[in-house]
Amino acid sequence: MKIFLDTSDVGVIKHHYQTGLVDGVTTNPTLMMQAGRNPVDVISEISSVFSGRGYHIGSISAEVVADSAEEMVLQAEQYHSIGENITIKVPCTYEGLKACRELSERDIKVNVTLIFSLNQSILAAKAGATYISPFIGRCEDNDIDGIDLISSIKRVFKLNSITTTNILAASIRSIDHVNDSYKAGADIVTLPPKIFEEMYKHVLTDQGLAQFDKDWKELNK
The predicted structure's pLDDT at residue 52: 59
Q: Is it the case that residue 53 has pLDDT exceeding 60? A: no
pLDDT digits (tens, 9 = 90+) for 129-167: 999 999 999 999 999 999 999 999 999 999 999 999 999
- Whole-number percent of the chain with pLDDT over 70: 97
pLDDT band at 55 (very low <50, low <70, confident <90, very high): very low
Whole-number Å distance between alpha carbons of 136 and 184? 12
Closest of 99, 181, 107 to residue 140, by C-alpha: 181
- Whole-number percent of the chain with pLDDT over 90: 80
For 205-221, the DSSP string reads HHHHHHHHHHHHHHHT-
Q: Is it the case that residue 34 has pLDDT exceeding 90? A: no
- Residue tagged active-site, from 89, 154, 183, 217: 89
Do residues 115 and 97 touch, judged by C-beta distance below 8 A?
no
pLDDT digits (tens, 9 = 90+) for 56-97: 568 999 999 999 999 999 999 999 999 989 999 999 999 999
The predicted structure's pLDDT at residue 56: 53
Catalytic residue status for 89: yes
Q: Is it the case that residue 10 has pLDDT exceeding 60? A: yes
pTM: predicted TM-score of the whole model, two decimal places: 0.91
DSSP SS3 for 62: strand
Task: Give the residue, 165 or 203, on which the prediction is more confident.
Answer: 165
